[in-house]
Amino acid sequence: MQRDTNPIRDTDSRGNTAPHNDSLTPYTGRWVARLSGSVVGQGGTPQQALQAAKAARHKETPQVIYVPTTNPFNFSPLLERIRSALPSGTPVYLVGGAVRDALLAHPVHDYDFVLPGDALRAARRVANKIGAAYFPLDAERGTARLIFTDEQGSRRVLDFAALRGPDLESDLRDRDFTVNALAVDVCNPQALLDPLGGAADLWNKTLRACSPTSLTSDPVRILRAIRMAAGFGFHILPETRKFMRQAVPLLPRVSSERLRDELFRILGGPQPHTAIRALDMLGVLQHVLPELISLKNVTQSPPHVRDVWGHTLDTLRNLDILLTVLGSQHDPDASANLTLGVAVMRLGRYRQQISAHLQASLVPERPLRSLLFLAALYHDIGKPETRHLDENERIRFFDHDQIGADIISSRGRALHLSNTEIDRLGAVVRHHMRPTLLAHSERGPSPRAVYRFFRATGIAGVDICLLSLADLLATYGTTLPQERWARQVDVVGALLEAWWERPEKQVSPRALISGHDLISEFGLEPGSLIGELLEMVHEAQAVGDVSSREGALALASESLSDEK
């Protein structure tokens, strides 16, 4: 006979929950054991409550019930569809982040399910029932992923795995942090299973390791802890911080891909500057982004107010603030100060375009927002190598942008990024100074300058524009003159206006002539001259000097005559 591993089987048969009355209020969200109406034991699971009661009243059999929270879980109807897809009596538990987010009333997009027995078979059955795509992730460990689009068009990720231990509680104890060691039975999703007190830690904004070996068994959890602390405002307990430090030397054992994925989640989440600072304090950066260590104590001349490392962290912080006030879900109070108000007035009309740009991905699960913050981290990475004093004892960093582009490209390869991502990073770092150079002219960028900017940068020009604003704020700090800031914002506004409002005129006009036209019209041989003439005509179109085929051919003819 197969052993029943469902802990809820020990609860009463009338629905597993107790009426919410004053005597049970202290036990909200917990399981309690009662005898004659009195609580004689309590715990995070039915077994814990029963064991606590038996320790005191071992000869009696108490009633074990769940005391519901005042705010019931609001799970997707998808849960019921999954339950109905499996044979009656099959114990399936929703675990981890989905339960945590449901407790916080946050949207749930990804679901992790565990069950005893053949998880692959169960996942296939669910996939067939709900019309999801099925992907076996690890047949040996019994894990599979379903990709599903719900009725609202939202993409859902459902992961199925076999229990890691003999029962659910063992599985939960083997997880990373108590706030993720939460579960509900799909058959009774309103009853929380919480053997480690994760719900209390959640309410107290405390991050606690499930065990002393939680971090050493999987060191990538160090990065996850920092991400969760920054994202949820958690306080990491001193003992957990000790476990994290003990696990840092083990980071080289973690694959570059896993480190990359967790790093991208950090950079794409709230307060990435705070997270990066914490990673540095823990000694993690030297294992993940080792080049950044060289930025420390590299001094700079005014108008810079910080050394290169401090400037880099300030750039991240300001970029996060700017993207918040220019985001589609912007809070007006966030842009109440004059500096941010100027940016919002000039650039606020591009909120939707900026949000869509940053949410896009060159590779699935790695949004451009994360890539932009990685570029911001490395935008001055070439400065330590190029630092020197000129004859006036002013610190210079000639070609640091070019050197930096090579360094970030190398780091991108080490992180196993795609070639497209590496090219984007290199372009952002290589050209990050161009908007600032354009702002030196009080007249603003000319049509020719706008065209040449995007010819060099392409779509990366949007990232460069946003980074340039954060870079300038970090350079001056509180000493930034408002007229200098307004000029930079105007330059960025002109560039984004060309990209999003007049691309066919200023960025990439429709070709008036082709290489075949030049060959047939002037008897030219195929070669580099053809490309040079076409580019010259293209630029002339962008600045308004040429608008017809005849004019384009005339310009080409004039250029050829000048070369003779």
DSSP 416: T
Q: In CATH terms, is domain 221-288 a member of 1.10.110.30?
A: yes
At which residue do the structure tokens 């076409």 appear?
Answer: 534
| 74 and 105 Cβ atoms separated by less than 8 Å | yes
Predicted confidence pLDDT, tens digits, the chain (564 residues): 333 333 333 334 334 455 545 577 778 778 888 988 889 888 888 888 888 888 888 788 888 888 877 666 777 788 888 888 888 888 999 999 999 999 888 888 899 999 998 999 999 999 999 999 999 988 878 899 999 888 777 888 999 999 988 999 999 999 999 999 999 999 888 888 999 999 889 888 999 999 999 999 999 999 999 999 999 999 999 999 999 999 999 999 999 999 999 999 999 999 999 999 999 999 999 999 999 999 999 999 999 999 999 999 999 999 999 999 999 887 777 777 889 999 999 999 999 999 999 999 999 889 999 999 999 999 999 999 999 999 999 999 999 999 999 999 999 999 999 999 999 999 999 999 999 999 998 788 999 999 999 999 999 999 999 999 999 999 999 999 999 999 999 999 999 999 999 999 999 999 999 999 999 999 999 999 999 999 999 999 999 999 999 999 999 999 998 776
Whether the link from the prior residue into 303 is cis, omega within 30° of 0, is: yes
Q: Which fold has domain 78-204?
A: Beta Polymerase; domain 2 (3.30.460)
Q: CATH 1.10.110.30 in the chain, residues?
A: 221-288
Reading the block at residue 333, the tokens are: 């109070």
Reading the block at residue 560, the tokens are: 């050829």
pLDDT reported for residue 70: 65
User: In sequence order, which residues have a C-beta less than 8 Å from that of residue 183 and are 6 or more positions away?
Assistant: 93, 94, 95, 96, 99, 114, 168, 172, 192, 193, 194
pLDDT reported for residue 4: 37
A 10 A CB-CB count for 517 gives 18
| 248 and 283 Cβ atoms separated by less than 8 Å | yes
pLDDT reported for residue 372: 99
Question: Residue 41, class by beta-carbon neighbours within 10 Å (0-12 exposed, 13-18 middle, 19+ buried)?
Answer: buried
Q: How many CA atoms lie within 13 A of 387 on its CB side?
A: 16
Positive or negative torsion for Cα 368, 369, 372, 377: negative
User: In sequence order, which residues have a C-beta less than 8 Å from that of residue 404 and are 6 or more positions away?
Assistant: 378, 379, 380, 381, 382, 383, 429, 430
Complete DSSP assignment for 468-511: HHHHHHHHHGGG--HHHHHHHHHHHHHHHHHHHH-IIIIISPPP
List the one residue out of 315, 246, 250, 239 whose CA is nearest residue 277.
315
Q: CATH 3.30.460.10 in the chain, residues?
A: 78-204
